Structure 1
């Protein structure tokens, strides 16, 4: 589910879960625990196969109902916080599609390089609200572009994404991991305490908003994922995807 590879001072954390590294309760818990175990290490986050992550496993959300979703949403927030708040450098090597929650995981990293596929946040197209933590991660990474990214609910090519703050640079596939490792190495040589403090300063406003609003919005967001109208919208979205893939 999670492969960890040693590259000198850097650890490559590779999501390896199904065909498209879809985010479910198990993968999110594994991500949280992996980053906790690597707290003192610089990390490159990437995916196995053709996708970085295609986002939330919506079929699991439908099949699991309110009970599964009530466990899943906090796990999503915890995994995003684990990446976003990691005290050492985290570089995303986005090796393919990074959709919705997959896009948010990439946005939670300090630097982001992409080699192919598309990236974007499609939650409004699905018909579900953004949990608090993912919204703040996106806002931090993309600034004034967040409004258009959220409301357009569309994916973008790597070249388009550079202009939005989602991606720092487009890199050929054969050079992607090397480029990400080089950037992680560059940041890892900085004094650890200095880097951690600077990173915390950059993220302070976002973290304060997470801490303030997440407890208040939890029930409302859960209702926005489990209500009958939202479940019907999720089902329609999945049916449309299935029709396009035939």
Structure 2
């Protein structure tokens, strides 16, 4: 589900879960577990197997699983994203292809993002679902004022456009992506590990404070909408449109 390789103390984690690395309960559960397993690594590079980094939430599982699945899935989504976002060591995203919706957030949770192709963006509103607090605040941290248009227009960005708004730090050729990501991770390791971890914590503290303030009211509302019959039907229609 997540393959692990180690290059000179840097853990390369490769999402390997179906053709597009869709985010389901099992993969999201594996993310914090895998980060714990590589806790001693000097840095982490996160990438995907195949043509996608991650095409986002497995909407078919949402439709088929109904409210009981949603009630487990959304908390797992938040835990996984925070595990990446708050991991104390450097984390570099090597975005090897499409990174959409939850896949975009997963990339945004990393400290540095390199991209070699595909599109990246937040397509939640196009699918008819709102953002839980954690993904929204991670995106706010990553792109700042560009967040409104990314959310409300629900579009896809090229790597070059994503770089212009700060979502992607560097666009590289596909055959150079992993090498470049390892080099960026090595560069981030130049600072002492405890200094890097504290600096990262300080930079992310306002995000955690906003999350802690908003979650008690916002997340139950999001869960209610994700679990509704209207959303279920909207997602069925959306999935059908993707198959045409």
Q: TM-score range by the shorter chain?
A: over 0.9
**Partners of 2:200 and 2:183 in 1: how far apart?**
19
Structure 1 contact 99–119 (Cα < 8 Å) conserved: yes
**Partners of 1:123 and 1:36 in 2: how far apart?**
29
- Write the mapping of 1:116-127 to structure 2, written as runs, cut at 5 A: 116-127=117-128
Deviation at 1:37, TM superposition (A): 2.3
1:26 partnered with 2:23: no
**Partners of 2:140 and 2:85 in 1: how far apart?**
12
Residue 111 of structure 2: aligned partner: 110
1:195 partnered with 2:196: yes
What SS does the corresponding residue of 2:235 show, helix, strand or coil?
helix
Which consecutive residues of structure 1, in runs of 5 or more, have no partner in the other structure?
Answer: none
1:11 partnered with 2:11: yes
Deviations 1:180-224 (A, max 9, x none): 000001111310110011111111111111122223322211111
Structure 1 contact 9–185 (Cα < 8 Å) conserved: no
**Partners of 2:228 and 2:178 in 1: how far apart?**
41
- Write the mapping of 1:57-72 to structure 2, written as runs, cut at 5 A: 57-72=58-73
Residue 50 of structure 2: aligned partner: 49
**Partners of 2:145 and 2:216 in 1: how far apart?**
25
Deviation at 1:36, TM superposition (A): 2.0
Deviations 1:57-93 (A, max 9, x none): 0000000000011000000000000000000000000
**Partners of 1:39 and 1:198 in 2: how far apart?**
18
**Partners of 1:40 and 1:214 in 2: how far apart?**
31
1:146 partnered with 2:157: no
What SS does the corresponding residue of 1:117 show, helix, strand or coil?
coil
**Partners of 1:105 and 1:61 in 2: how far apart?**
19
Deviation at 1:120, TM superposition (A): 0.2
What SS does the corresponding residue of 1:4 show, helix, strand or coil?
strand
Structure 1 contact 36–82 (Cα < 8 Å) conserved: no
Taking structure 1 as the reference length, the TM-score comes to 0.97
- Write the mapping of 1:57-96 to structure 2, written as runs, cut at 5 A: 57-96=58-97
Structure 1 contact 40–87 (Cα < 8 Å) conserved: no
What SS does the corresponding residue of 2:44 show, helix, strand or coil?
strand
Residue 234 of structure 1: aligned partner: 235
